[in-house]
């Protein structure tokens, strides 16, 4: 029997390609060309599966053009590149890579919080520019982390990981807001108190965003929300671009309406709003929160497992829309 054909849309570990090739006819993109949409659709014709990395938009138009497609396996926990309703309607399964990146991403969220509060980027630029010629009592004096109030917007697995680090490691008072309140045992484990969004904005010394992007969370933090935060507060976004209004944030940072921000994700990335590049009180990283070698391998393995398990046995490991399994393309 001939092997199903799949597309790997971006460069990935050679070992992952080799493993997939044991089960599939693989079209890979190891030169990591950035395909436009027409090219992606063209490459996808006749493929039963696609390995995506979070940037490839899968919607009704693409699905209609690729009738053989049965699974889109994202190597990311976020899946806002998938129109899941359109995929379900077309009987196409989506999968993501939850759990394997939780602790690594929480580590990074906390690293960004510390770097932002303690002004690491700004002070390093100062030193590299040869401007450090004497000690000063207030040089790069930042915001206290230990014992302060950590606010978390979006209390899923990664949010809980950041809460535990803050509460248990840094003696922080943790408050959170989420679509639904956590059960009492999880709240106790995270030492976290549920509050409404207005209280979160008003009371947090350090506000960390970890909520998924959807039309409902678009610009969840904009001018009005920034105005409710303390002028001494810091804001960290390790969730998705578009949750923060980047232009409004740059203006708030410039006018010192909040003290500082740490951003790993941006609206329209890899482009970054030019105003964010010129304000000093922001730490900027290129969407690397899950980027350790071990975690990126685990994510690639899980995305590959989903393709292999689904296309050879009908049993994906981490399906997003299992209801699609009864759909037209089985
Ligand atoms: C990264 O942003 C992910 O969603 O895994």
Looking at the CA of residue 75, tell me the nearest atom of ligand 1: 5
Which of 312-316's residues contact partners 24+ apart within 8 Å by CB, and which partners? 312/23, 316/71, 316/93, 316/95
Nearest Cα residue to atom 3 of ligand 1: 76
Nearest CA among 40, 42, 68, 38 for reference residue 53:
40
Cα distances (angstroms) measured from residue 262 to each of 44, 178, 254, 270: 37, 21, 14, 16
Residue 2 CB contacts under 8 Å (≥ 6 apart), including other chains: 25
Q: For ligand 1, is residue 26 a contact (CB within 6 Å)?
A: no
So what CATH class is 102-284? alpha beta
Tokens of 206: 């350090």
Which residue's CA is the nearest one to ligand 1's atom 4? 78
* Weakly modelled stretches of the chain, pLDDT under 70: 327-330
How many Cα neighbours within 13 Å face the side chain of 170? 20
Q: Which atom of ligand 1 is nearest to the CA of 299?
A: 5
Q: What is the model's pTM?
A: 0.96
Q: What is the pLDDT at residue 325? A: 85
Kindly report the protein residue whose alpha carbon is nearest to atom 5 of ligand 1.
76
Homologous superfamily of 5-98+293-327 in CATH?
NAD(P)-binding Rossmann-like Domain (3.40.50.720)
Place of tokens 């510390």: 114
Using DSSP, how many helices (H) and how many strands (E) does the chain show? 14, 12
pLDDT of residue 71: 98
* Residue ranges of the chain assigned to CATH 3.40.50.720: 5-98+293-327, 102-284
pLDDT above 90 covers what percent of the chain?
A: 98
| Sign for the pseudo-dihedral over CA of 58, 60, 61, 65 | positive
Does ligand 1 have an atom closer than 6 angstroms to the CB of 290?
yes
């Amino acid at each position: 029997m001939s092997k199903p054909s799949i597309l790997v849309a971006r460069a990935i570990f050679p070992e992952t390609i080799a493993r997939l090739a044991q089960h599939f006819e693989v079209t890979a993109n190891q030169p990591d060309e950035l395909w436009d949409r027409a090219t992606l659709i063209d490459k996808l014709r006749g493929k039963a599966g696609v390995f995506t990395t979070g940037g490839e938009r899968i919607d009704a138009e693409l699905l209609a053009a690729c009738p053989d497609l049965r699974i889109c396996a994202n190597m990311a926990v976020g899946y806002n590149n998938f129109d899941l309703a359109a995929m379900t309607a077309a009987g196409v399964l989506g999968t993501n890579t939850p759990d394997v990146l939780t602790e690594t991403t929480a580590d990074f969220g906390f690293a960004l919080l510390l770097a932002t509060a303690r002004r690491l980027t700004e002070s390093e630029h100062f030193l590299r520019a040869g401007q450090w010629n004497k000690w000063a009592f207030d040089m790069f004096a930042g915001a206290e982390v230990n014992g302060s109030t950590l606010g978390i917007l979006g209390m899923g697995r990664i949010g809980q990981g950041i809460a535990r680090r803050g509460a248990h490691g840094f003696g922080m008072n943790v408050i959170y807001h989420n679509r639904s309140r956590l059960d009492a045992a999880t709240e106790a484990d995270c030492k976290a108190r549920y509050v409404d969004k207005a209280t979160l904005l008003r009371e947090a010394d350090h506000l960390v965003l970890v909520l998924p992007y959807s039309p409902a969370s678009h610009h969840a933090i904009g001018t009005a929300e920034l105005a409710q935060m303390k002028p001494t507060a810091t804001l960290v976004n390790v969730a998705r671009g578009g949750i923060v209004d980047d232009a409004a944030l740059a203006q708030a940072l410039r006018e010192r309406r909040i003290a500082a921000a740490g951003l790993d994700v941006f609206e329209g990335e890899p482009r970054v709003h030019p105003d964010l590049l010129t304000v000093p009180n922001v730490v900027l990283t290129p969407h690397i929160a899950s980027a350790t070698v071990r975690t990126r391998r685990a994510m690639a393995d899980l995305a590959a497992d989903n393709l292999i398990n689904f296309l050879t046995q009908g049993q994906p490991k981490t399906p997003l829309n299992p209801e699609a399994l009864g759909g037209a393309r089985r």
